[in-house]
Homo-oligomer: A and B are copies of this chain.
């Protein structure tokens, strides 16, 4: 944990917090911090700075908080991702949060197993937990928004055109002819399919809505690897 992420409810006065949960245990057991130590802190969707430990006991920690730095800038990216296997989704949410992605749409596809939509990982609290881990890792406070879209066709035809207006529209597709650009660094909507890829009809629907299929080369990557590889090379 490279940053202690503070919630509004942690504040007992404008510049003082009391922590009593996992973060408290982490600070005591892993960081082995003591009164007088200073930790990197940040308030959710607000500024970052430091927390001076005022008191520690077994159940709680109080810190004097000073927040005067902006979090790192968000990536100008909207990611549309076919819902991955739950176990992989946890890691992907962490990675995306740590990479600075702020808009994430998880969508259905023919090759997404129906049972994935019933997974507990998709509960609001679980999604939040994995995003928080990514933010604490990367030292960021701006919480990504995750949207669940169980119906591919209405989403792509009715919502995606508005979401992608005036933005570069890329469909990651191993068999495409065009190569994915490097260091694009401008407003982009990136669509990534499931393991095994979108079916032809889905690809066509995306193409009809202005998405250009692009490849990273001959190698077919697991979704988890592809997500990080694509984000990392689009925004440099």
A residues with a Cβ closer than 8 A to B are: 2, 72, 91, 94-95, 98-100, 137-140, 182-183, 216-222, 224-225, 228-233, 236
Determine the chain B residues whose CB is within 8 A of the CB of A220 once the complex forms.
Answer: 2, 98, 137-139
Whether the pair A222, B182 counts as a contact (CB closer than 8 A) is no
Question: How many Å from the CB of A174 to the closest CB on chain B?
Answer: 9
Question: How many Å from the CB of A232 to the closest CB on chain B?
Answer: 4
Determine the chain B residues whose CB is within 8 A of the CB of A91 once the complex forms.
Answer: 224
Whether the pair A72, B225 counts as a contact (CB closer than 8 A) is no
Whether the pair B139, A229 counts as a contact (CB closer than 8 A) is no
Partner among B138, B139, B217 whose Cβ is within 8 Å of the Cβ of A72: B217
Given contacts A139-B220, A182-B183, 19 further A-B contacts (CB under 8 A): A2-B220, A72-B218, A91-B224, A94-B222, A98-B221, A98-B225, A99-B229, A137-B221, A138-B220, A138-B221, A139-B218, A182-B182, A182-B233, A182-B236, A183-B183, A216-B232, A228-B232, A233-B233, A233-B236
Partner among B182, B216, B228 whose Cβ is within 8 Å of the Cβ of A225: B228
Partner among B99, B182, B218, B225 whose Cβ is within 8 Å of the Cβ of A219: B99
Determine the chain B residues whose CB is within 8 A of the CB of A98 once the complex forms.
Answer: 219-222, 225
